[in-house]
Chains A and B, each alone.
Chain A
């Protein structure tokens, strides 16, 4: 299915896939409209799980119902499984070479920079007012100082959101 092709072309995760999806699904296959894609994408982003997987499930379901949803999703993950398995199989053999160690020592620094940039970008979208800023700070502190599962914070955050909004605090 087309989703296998998209899966194999998507570098760098989630956001990288929007333009590709538009070209494949809207322009070439005409399976969904531009607006539908954006809708799916927005929902994919605010439901748990991988955005690409969520979007694939959505489009697949619309086309062919339940089997379509599952087939599209498997299509998206299949190329990753193959590619990563190959890399993982080789990587362990190379891990002791000095050049590889040097390269990865520097790559790790680069990854920290990339993640930091993502956090800043995400922060601008998710930390929008005083209550969300407080939640953000509490979560960072809690994760660093306590030995608690991240799951608890996610559930706690949802409850806080409901309470805060019900009380009418925060940006409308």
Chain B
């Protein structure tokens, strides 16, 4: 039963996450909230692990969630669920490639879907920032539970500047993650 649920949930994610990579994030966030398979903080850890390991982020996340809840069969089932819609859709699209690309309704649909995808990721990000930067539970109890600790905010600002400086910004994200880890250990970030 668990395996079936995992497959179905990731199938939906694979079907509706348009734009690759982080597009799966809002779906995973909703999944965590609905089933309690992982906390929001764990989800962010998963993003970090995915950034720091080879392979597509969506696949990594599916494997991770599947494994932590149903072992190796779970990892395989969740990943297959995620990629099934892609395989089916691409096989269909590939056989009608030219028609698909020039179909005006497909183009119109994507025109409206792309900002939705960006908006979904942005909303998921805001939710995660509330947790990771302010330690608050959710946007609804933000006013009561938010803590304005300087440490995460300083790191956030510093990284935001660094990752937008020419030359530095093209460095691999794993470097920023590694530097953050070191800073976290030196300055006791979990306190």
A interface, CB within 8 angstroms of B: 7-15, 17, 43-54, 57-58, 61-62, 66, 69-70, 73, 76-77, 79-81, 83-85, 87-89, 91-92, 98-99, 101-119, 122-123, 125-127, 131-133, 135-140, 142-145, 149-151, 153-162, 164-166, 170
Contacts and interface: CB of A to CB of B under 8 A. Distances in A.
A108 B59 CA distance: 20
A2 to B, nearest CB: 15
A8 B2 CA distance: 29
Given A12-B173, A49-B17, A133 B115 contact: yes
Interface band, chain B:
35 or more
Most buried by A among B12, B129, B169: B129
Nearest to B24: A50
B109 A49 contact: no
Interface string B170-182: 0011101101111
Contacts of A109: 132-133, 152, 155-156, 159, 180, 189
A143 B119 contact: yes
B180 A110 contact: yes
A159 B112 contact: yes
Nearest to A104: B45
Contacts of B124: 143
B76 interface: yes
A107 B48 contact: yes
B168 interface: no
Contacts of A118: 21-22, 121
Contact of B113 (A61, A62, A111, A161): A161
The 4 A-B pairs at the shortest CB distance, nearest first, are namely A161-B112, A106-B184, A139-B119, A49-B86
Nearest to A69: B91
Interface in B33-47: 41, 44-45, 47
Contacts of A155: 16
